[in-house]
C-alpha cells in the first residue's frame, strides 16, 4: 500500500483494527491473536488483554501500530535522520530520495517529537519521544506473512512467529523475554497476517538501561533466534491448542469459508494458522524436517530491507536513535525481494478453481453461537 504522506498519529484508537493489509487488489483484515493461544505464558501472564492493560499501555500500543502503518510502505529514505517538532515538514531536501515529494504530518495538539530514518542495513525506523509518559515500547513489522507459507507446510509463518519468543543466542532461556517484561511492568504479543508479521512489546522505561536491555532482547529476535529442537516440539502444542480454539470461533470459521471461495492456486486461500498435522505430520510425510524449514523460512524472508521498526519512549530522539542502532544495527540485509512479487498480477485471486463458488452464490452457514447475520462481500480492486 503506497502512502503519499507519512502520518504520525497521536493516539489513533483501534487504528490497526480498522486498517487493512492489501494483497493483489484484495484486502485481508488482520485478526488479533488471543492471549490464551500462547500457552507457554500461562504462568507469567505477560501477554495481557486490552482490558488488563493500563490506559497508558493501551495508548503506547495504539501509537506503535499507527506509526508502523504510517511508515511501513516507505522504502526509499536515504541514510539521514529527518526530525520535526511541530507542524508539517515537507521533505523536499535533495538529500532525501523519495519516489515523490512526501510530508510527515501530525495532529496540531500532538506535542511529541518524531524522527524517521533508515539504518545502514536498510531497516526503516520511526521514533517517538514522549517525555510525559514513563512507558516505552517497540513494534517490528516484518513484511512477510502466511501467504508466503510453503505449499507443503501451511502455518509455517505463524509457527515461526511463535518460535522467535523461545530463546536467542544472546538470551537462550525460553521465557527470558517474558520474565524481563514481567518484572518491568511490561507485556508482549505478536500476530501473523496475510503479508505481514508484527511483534510488539511495552514496558516501564524511565530508566535508560532498562529500555536499552528491552530493545536489545527484542532485537535479538531478528538476528539470532535459536529454533531449538525442544522448543520446536513443545510449541507445536500451542499451535494445536490455538487452532482447536479457532474451530469454535464463528469469525474464524467464516474467514476460512471466504478463503475457500478464492482461487485455490492463490496464496490467500491457504490455511494460515496451521496445526500439528500440517506442520509436523505432513512435513514428515513429505520428507521435510520442520526445524530446517523454519530456519530456511526465517533466513529467506527476515531481512532488514523488509522490516519497519517503531519505537516510543520518554527519552530524547537522540537517545532513542542510539538505542535502536545498537539493538537493531546487526539485523542482516539479505536483500530479500517483496514476497508478493511471486503472485501479484500473476495468479488471479478468484478466477480459477475454488472449493466454493466465488461469485453470484448465497452461502449459508450454521454458526456455533446463536447468531443471525447477513453479509455481502465483494473484492476491491486497486489500480
Catalytic residue, from 135, 152, 161, 235: name it. Answer: 161
Cell numbers 516440539 correspond to 233
Q: Is 161 a catalytic residue?
A: yes
| Catalytic residue annotation | 161
Amino acid at each position: 500500500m503506497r502512502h503519499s504522506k507519512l502520518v504520525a498519529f497521536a493516539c489513533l484508537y483501534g487504528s490497526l483494527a480498522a486498517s487493512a493489509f492489501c494483497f493483489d487488489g484484495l484486502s485481508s483484515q488482520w485478526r488479533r491473536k488471543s492471549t490464551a493461544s500462547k500457552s507457554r505464558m500461562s504462568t507469567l501472564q505477560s501477554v495481557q488483554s486490552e482490558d488488563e492493560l493500563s490506559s497508558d499501555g493501551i495508548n503506547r500500543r495504539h501509537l506503535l501500530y499507527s506509526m508502523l502503518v504510517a511508515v511501513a510502505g516507505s522504502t526509499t529514505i536515504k541514510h539521514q535522520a529527518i526530525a520535526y517538532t511541530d507542524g508539517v515538514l515537507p521533505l523536499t531536501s535533495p538529500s532525501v530520495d523519495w519516489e515523490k515529494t512526501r510530508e510527515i504530518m501530525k495532529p496540531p495538539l500532538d506535542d511529541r517529537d518524531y524522527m524517521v530514518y533508515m539504518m545502514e542495513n536498510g531497516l526503516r525506523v520511526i521514533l517517538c519521544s514522549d517525555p510525559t509518559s514513563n512507558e516505552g515500547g517497540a513494534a517490528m513489522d516484518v513484511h512477510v506473512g502466511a501467504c508466503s507459507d510453503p505449499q507443503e507446510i501451511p502455518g509455517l509463518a505463524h509457527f515461526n512467529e511463535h518460535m522467535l519468543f523461545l530463546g536467542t543466542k544472546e538470551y537462550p532461556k525460553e521465557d527470558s523475554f517474558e520474565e524481563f517484561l514481567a518484572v518491568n511492568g511490561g507485556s508482549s504479543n505478536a500476530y501473523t497476517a496475510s503479508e505481514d508479521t508484527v511483534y510488539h512489546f511495552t514496558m516501564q522505561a524511565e530508566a535508560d538501561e532498562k529500555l536499552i536491555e528491552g530493545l536489545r532482547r527484542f532485537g535479538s529476535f531478528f538476528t539470532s533466534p535459536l529454533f531449538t529442537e525442544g522448543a520446536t516440539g513443545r510449541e507445536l502444542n500451542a499451535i494445536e491448542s490455538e487452532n482447536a480454539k479457532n474451530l469454535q470461533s464463528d469469525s474464524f470459521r467464516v474467514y476460512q469459508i471466504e478463503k475457500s471461495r478464492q482461487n485455490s492456486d492463490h496464496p490467500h486461500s491457504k490455511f494460515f494458522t496451521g496445526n500439528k498435522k500440517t506442520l509436523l505430520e505432513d512435513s514428515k510425510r513429505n520428507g521435510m524436517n520442520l526445524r530446517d524449514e523454519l530456519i530456511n523460512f526465517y533466513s529467506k524472508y527476515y531481512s532488514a530491507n523488509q522490516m519497519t521498526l517503531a519505537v516510543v519512549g520518554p527519552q530524547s530522539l537522540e537517545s532513542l536513535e542510539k538505542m535502536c542502532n545498537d539493538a537493531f544495527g546487526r539485523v542482516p540485509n539479505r536483500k530479500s525481494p517483496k514476497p508478493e512479487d511471486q503472485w501479484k498480477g500473476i495468479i488471479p485471486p478468484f478466477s480459477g478453481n475454488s472449493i466454493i463458488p466465488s461469485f453470484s452464490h448465497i452461502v449459508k452457514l450454521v454458526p456455533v453461537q446463536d447468531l443471525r447475520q447477513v453479509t455481502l462481500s465483494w473484492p476491491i480492486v486497486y489500480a
